[in-house]
Structure 1
Amino acid sequence: MKEEKVDLTRIIQKKFSRLSKGQKLIAQYIINEYDKAAFMTASKLGNKVGVSESTVVRFANALGYDGYPQLQKELQELVKTKLTTVQRLEMSKDYKDGGTVLKKVLKADMDNIRHMIDELDDKLFQSVIDKILEADRVYIVGLRSSSTLAEYLGFYLNLVLDNVRVVRLGVSDVFEQILRVKEGDLVIGISFPRYSKITLNALNYTKEQGATIVGLTDSKVSPITEIADYTLTARSNMASFVDSLVAPLSLINALIVALGMKERDKISTTFNKLENIWKKQNVYDNKDGSSL
């Protein structure tokens, strides 16, 4: 296994002098072009630097990994946390043709959901549902690109529960909005690469106040996992300047549905009232196309 949790480049530098000539070529390429190497197969990486595929595998072993897939996973974590949007745009060169873009993006989204299905712990998921229902108040913190997920979750949770607050960047400072958080409250922190420092700082504050923290993030090495009491993961991998939020949104949908089923009688009454209000206020179009 790897010697350090995240900094792969430091591991390479530490072991560089003991590597073979071919392995040193791989190491140098990864240090200089880790954004490109992260999405190369062992064979392609070997061809790029002029060594065999087996040399690439032995290189991964020399660094302390069980095999190349484990090394590649670490490389991809490095990409997600350290690349700027400009560098990630450079990675998107393969997305030139419209049809190629469509298929590649859809396939990546499908892969992310498939991995989430395989990796999600049902007992952990149920524990999170129970904790949300037990909480005095529920705060949702998700900023920057994660704000869309936070707003979506907040919109539906407010229909199921009556103690939900979405923390937003705006007129009020984030810390002003969570000032009264206390023991017995639950904070849902949503953070996907590139991880927002404000989100992490806010979660650290709420944990200091005794609140229970639920993290929604992309992997077990995300910085949010060190703060959260419960962590649910959904991959957001996308070799482009944007992250995929499809799997995270599916995870949030599952949370909403599970909570709704637990509170079925309550939300039935709520929706009956809402339907009457929507009808009177002409909120939605009628089936015949006339505006209601």
Structure 2
Amino acid sequence: MIAQYIMDNYDKAAFMTAAKLGEKVGVSESTVVRFANVLDFEGYPQLQSELQEMIRTRLTTVQRIEMSADYSSEENTLKKVLKADIDNLRITMDSIDYKVFEASVKSITEAKHIYIVALRSSTTLADFLGFYLNLIRDNVYITSRSISDTFEMLFRVDKDDLVIGIGFPRYSSKTIEALHYAKSQGAKVLAITDSILSPLAANSDFTLTAKSNMESFVDSLVAPLSLLNALIVAVGIKEKNKVASSFAKLEDIWEQYNVYSNKEKSGK
């Protein structure tokens, strides 16, 4: 009975608690837990995790909307979304490979050119990363507007360059192709994605993972953004003198051209 429900409703079952699944099927929570044990899982959470990984790249937008049905009120929605983001941050922090993180920082500081490749919702992350890396160092390019622009900007990439690919389920096939091309040209590739099993990781020298699970049609970018924030800060610390010099010059420019509002100066 439980197995049949999961097969027929895998997209919903993957995000149900054991109690919720039991309620849907008409059995107790303990029966659901025993079912997971019979399948050689250590417990229901492990079964749930396996289901989530299996379907993450298969969920359509319509299926994601249906999963949002449990958001019964604005208050409930707020709490569930914030809790999901907190969980994503905690899992990301606990699972990060610090040696890979350090190697990624080193590659960013040493690369002759840096190309950031991201499409669809991941363009937000690319813009954030590119904005700050451009303040820290030269030769940073964001290739996130169209696939034709991406390959035109990458066609000179070589062994001295770093290509950073950013992508989360459902993965953009064009981002995957761009990383494959960069790797074939001898460039170093850093993948920012959700899992070491991600197709972006297949062509990468370094893979940094951040969880983006969300029971909704909206992708959660909170943990990925936090990971990029840490990456930027680490690069800035490593290039401390260069960053200090750059920002000193920028502060003069910002003041000269009134880039930021200064209420005290205007007397308001």
> What is the TM-score with the length of structure 2 in the denominator?
0.92
Q: Find the counterpart in structure 2 of residue 5 from structure 1.
A: none
Instruction: Please give the per-residue CA displacement for 1:113-132, whole angstroms capped at 9, x wherever unaligned.
Output: 11111111222211111121
Partner of 1:114: 90
Distance between the aligned counterparts of 1:115 and 1:74, measured in 2?
A: 15
Query: Are the aligned partners of 2:179 and 2:189 in contact in 1 as well (CA < 8 Å)?
Result: yes
Give the alignment's Cα RMSD to 1 decimal.
Answer: 1.9
- Which residue number corresponds to residue 179 of structure 1? 155
Cα distance change on mapping 1:171 and 1:124 into 2, 3 Å: closer
CA offsets 1:233-274 (integer angstroms, 9 cap, x no match): 111111111111111111001000000011111111111111
**Which of 221-230 and 194-203 deviates more?**
221-230
Q: 1:161, CA displacement in angstroms?
A: 1.1
The one-letter amino acid of 1:100's match is N
Letter in 2 for 1:85: T
Does structure 1 residue 190 correspond to structure 2 residue 163?
no
SS in 2 for 1:223: coil
Q: 1:148 aligns with which of 117, 124, 127?
A: 124
Q: 2:181 aligns to what?
A: 205
Where 1:285 maps in the other structure, the secondary structure is coil
Residue 243 (structure 1) aligns with:
219
Residue 15 of structure 2 contacts residue 52 of structure 2 at CA under 8 Å; is this kept in 1? yes
Q: Say whether the 8 Å CA contact 2:147–2:174 is kept in structure 1.
A: no
**Offset, 1:290:** 3.9
Q: Are 2:45 and 1:30 equivalent residues in the alignment? A: no
Counterpart CA distance in 2 for 1:180 and 1:72 is: 44
The answer to whether the aligner puts 1:214 opposite 2:214 as a matched pair is no
Q: State the match for 2:21 in structure 1.
A: 45
Change (3 A) 1:46 1:210: same
Q: Encode CA deviations 1:66-121: one digit per residue, 9 max, x unaligned.
A: 43222211211233211111110111112231111111111111111111111112
**How far apart are the structure 2 equivalents of 1:58 and 1:105?**
29
Counterpart CA distance in 2 for 1:264 and 1:197 is 37
Amino acid at match of 1:207: K
CA contact 2:143–2:149 (8 Å) conserved in 1 = no
Distance 1:190 1:234 in 2: 11
Tell me if 1:158 matches 2:134.
yes
- Structure 1: distance between partners of 2:241 and 2:53: 43
Identity of aligned residues (%): 61
Question: Structure 1 length normalisation: TM-score?
Answer: 0.85
Runs (5+) with no aligned partner, structure 2:
none
Amino acid corresponding to residue 253 of structure 1 in structure 2? N
Q: Which has the higher contact order (CA 8 A, sep 6+)?
A: 2
CA distance in 1, matches of 2:201, 2:148: 27
Matched, 1:129 2:105: yes
Q: Identify the match of residue 229 of structure 2 among 253, 256, 271.
A: 253
Quote the Cα distance in structure 1 between the aligned partners of 2:43 and 2:194. 22
Deviation (angstroms), 1:60? 3.4
| Whole-angstrom CA distance in 2 between matches of 1:35 and 1:94 | 14
Please give the alpha-carbon distance, in whole angstroms, between the structure 2 residues aligned to 1:70 and 1:106: 23
What is the aligned residue count? 267
Specify the SS of the correspondent of 2:170. Answer: coil
Q: Gaps (5+ residues) in structure 1?
A: 1-24
